[in-house]
Amino acid sequence: MNNPILVAANLQKSFADLAVVKNVSLSLDEGEFVSLVGKSGSGKTTLLSLLSSLELPTSGTVSLCGKDIIKASESELALFRRANIGFIFQSFHLIPTLTAWENVAAPLFPEPMEQRIRRERAVKLLEEMQLGHRLEHLPSALSGGEKQRVAIARALINNPRIIFADEPTGNLDSQTGQSIMETLHKVNKEQKLTILMVTHDNELAGNADRTLTMQDGVIQ
């Protein structure tokens, strides 16, 4: 039995008069690893932000983890994202003044929790990312691949059901990118975590369960 975790229908997004996402309908099953490819400017980042509740569409519907994210209020969405969604970006988006473990633990700060517990959870994830020797490093002292593994650990710390990744290997050399992909495939398999990943690397895209291709705002 396949369980849809994300269902989008007739999504449109326009900026001023420019339609960037045009009548997109798609569905992802729980546990799927789906890649989204397409030329630069085809609307991939915009579509990802609509599907992941970061932006509102001009029209259309999105149900994510059983929630109608178009109707939800911004305060509901903040809680919902924290409980269900992990984000990974091309440029890592780490906080430069926090150490590796503090970056990973940052999403836990709204919860009332002992600092010791936060640290333990962050350290465990960093160890799984082979970064047990980099806990106290600032992002500026880490390589690109290390930064992205810190970002993956941060995305995982609240045990999300789905991860949205926008060109997670875009700033990495191909070998490092390959190892980041292996990490994402591992968490997808081991934790049955759904992943939607934008990439313009066709080879990396080909390793997914399914590939969606975007062209000029439309899913082919």
Ligand X SMILES: Nc1ncnc2c1ncn2[C@@H]1O[C@H](COP(=O)(O)OP(=O)(O)O)[C@@H](O)[C@H]1O
Which positions lie near Mg ion, rule CB under 5 A?
44-45
Which single residue brings its beta carbon nearest to Mg ion?
45
132 binds, among ligand X, Mg ion, none (CB under 5 to 8 A by kind): none
42 binds, among ligand X, Mg ion, none (CB under 5 to 8 A by kind): ligand X
- Binding of ligand X at residue 41 (CB under 6 A)? yes
Candidate residues 42, 52, 148, 169; the one interacting with ligand X per rule CB under 6 A: 42
Main-chain dihedrals φ then ψ at residue 18, nearest 5 degrees: -90, 115
- Binding of ligand X at residue 20 (CB under 6 A)? yes
- Binding of ligand X at residue 45 (CB under 6 A)? yes
CA distance 99 to 105: 10
DSSP SS3 for 180: helix
206 binds, among Mg ion, ligand X, none (CB under 5 to 8 A by kind): none
Closest CB to Mg ion among residues 124, 170: 170
As beta bridge partners, residue 26 has: 8
Return all residues near 156 (Cβ < 8 A) that are at least 6 apart.
86, 125, 163, 187
Residue 202 neighbours by CB distance under 10 Å: 11
